[in-house]
Amino acid sequence: MGRPGRVGGRGLLSEVNRAPGVMGAPPPRLTGDRAEESAMDSAGQGDPLAVLYRLHHQLRVLSPVLTVAPGRPETNAMLDGLAETVSEAAGLLATAEPEALAALRQGFEYARLGRGNEANSELITAYGRLSVLLRKDTPRRDSANEPTVRWRSRF
């Protein structure tokens, strides 16, 4: 039995590969996750937001895999699956969250160049933007698109 986080064997990567929603299967439906339940019917096709929830799930799974095992064939297969989902969701993202789409495209470019840390950073940015977009309990603020104001020292 392998150690948790170990690449190969029964480590993190093999666990992730067996997880539902990673290699084309729909993500698991958790009983407490009402937003995802309302967006998915039994086939996962009823709501146009279903593709965004699938994308959100793939980003959540792929980020740690990119950290642990960049450049592995399984990781590249997961990136290919993510690229397919992004192409399905491109229209919705271009309208609802163009910054997330830009971050995803930049992340794919970094991944193609072999710059795993930068790719992961862009994918995490896209994940955060999608998280805000898909939250149903608190509506999105008007200031979500404003640039961040950083604290500056007067010293």
The predicted-structure confidence for 105-140, as pLDDT tens digits, reads as follows: 999 999 999 898 999 999 999 999 999 988 866 655
Tens digits of per-residue pLDDT, 18-38? 444 444 444 444 444 444 444
Tens digits of per-residue pLDDT, 141-153? 665 555 555 555 5
Percentage of residues of the chain with pLDDT beyond 90: 41
- Residue 53, Cβ density class (10 Å: 0-12 exposed, 13-18 middle, ≥19 buried): buried
Tens digits of per-residue pLDDT, 46-95? 577 899 999 999 999 999 999 898 888 999 999 999 999 999 999 999 99
Q: Say if pTM beats, i.e. exceeds, 0.85.
A: no
Q: Report residue 4's pLDDT band, with 50, 70 and 90 as the boundaries.
A: very low
Q: Please state, rounded to an integer, the average pLDDT across all residues of the chain.
A: 74
pLDDT over 60 at 7, yes or no: no
Q: What is each CA distance from 67 to 16, 53, 103, 144, in whole angstroms?
A: 13, 22, 18, 28
Q: Helix, strand, coil shares of the chain as percentages rounded to 5?
A: 60, 0, 40
Q: What is each CA distance from 62 to 53, 90, 143, in whole angstroms?
A: 14, 19, 29
